[in-house]
Amino acid sequence: MEILQISYVFNVDKIQQKLMLLFEEMLGYLPPAISPDAFFSVLLKPPEQQEIFIAVDRTTSNICGICTVVQEQSVFRKHLLITELFVTRNMRRHKIGTMLLTRATNYAKSTGCERIIASISRNARGVEYDEFFTSHHFRTLVPHNSFTIAVR
């Protein structure tokens, strides 16, 4: 399993279809079909402060997880906001979420972020997210039915 920046996985066979299937499982519905050019232009032109990490099984070329992060500057400090962290159902409990979170943490350190905040949509897996972030030394600030906000 490799954790790669999204720009490094465009050579994966049928990448658009694999990402769309990941998004379908993550969101609970299939996003509208768009042309490959439009799809990749969105992924290739993220805001300067955003990065997307993908967990790729190089033996099968399957995409097993995603983590999207954004750097933000407040008055007093720079922090990293994790906006998505998702692992496909069949690959959970294989430490892929931990690998994605570690990559995000290393990215935060390399870009000078002093704090990491996770703001994750919860749907039915809310308790899993709370347990996951707690096990990685985050503390939940806002327990809510629709999202988790945790800080480390």
Q: Span 46-51, mean pLDDT?
A: 74
Return the half-sphere exposure (C-beta side, CA atoms, 13 A cut-off) of residue 73. Answer: 5
Residue 122 tokens read as 């919860």
Top-ranked range on mean pLDDT: pick from 78-82, 97-101, 113-117: 97-101
Q: How confident is the model at residue 128 (pLDDT cuts 50, 70, 90)?
A: confident
CB 139 within 8 A of CB 101: no
129 pLDDT exceeds 70? Answer: yes
Q: 144 Cβ partners below 8 Å, 6+ apart?
A: 122
Segment 9-35, tens digit of pLDDT:
666 667 777 777 777 777 776 667 777
Ranges of beta strands (E only) in 88-146 are: 115-121, 139-143
Largest CA distance in the chain: 45
For the entire predicted model, the pTM comes to: 0.78
Taking each helix axis from N to C end, the angle separating 15-27 and 36-44, rounded to the nearest 10 degrees, works out to: 70
Strand partners, 121: 147
Q: Which two tokens mark 115?
A: 């704090």
CATH number of 2-151: 3.40.630.30
Query: Is the Cβ–Cβ distance between 150 and 122 less than 8 Å?
Result: no
Mean pLDDT calculated for residue range 63-77: 88
pLDDT(147) > 60: no
| DSSP of 8-73 | G-TTSTTHHHHHHHHHHHHHSSPPPP--HHHHHHHHHS--TTEEEEEEEETTTTEEEEEEEEEEEE
| 92-112 tens-digit pLDDT | 889 999 999 999 999 999 999
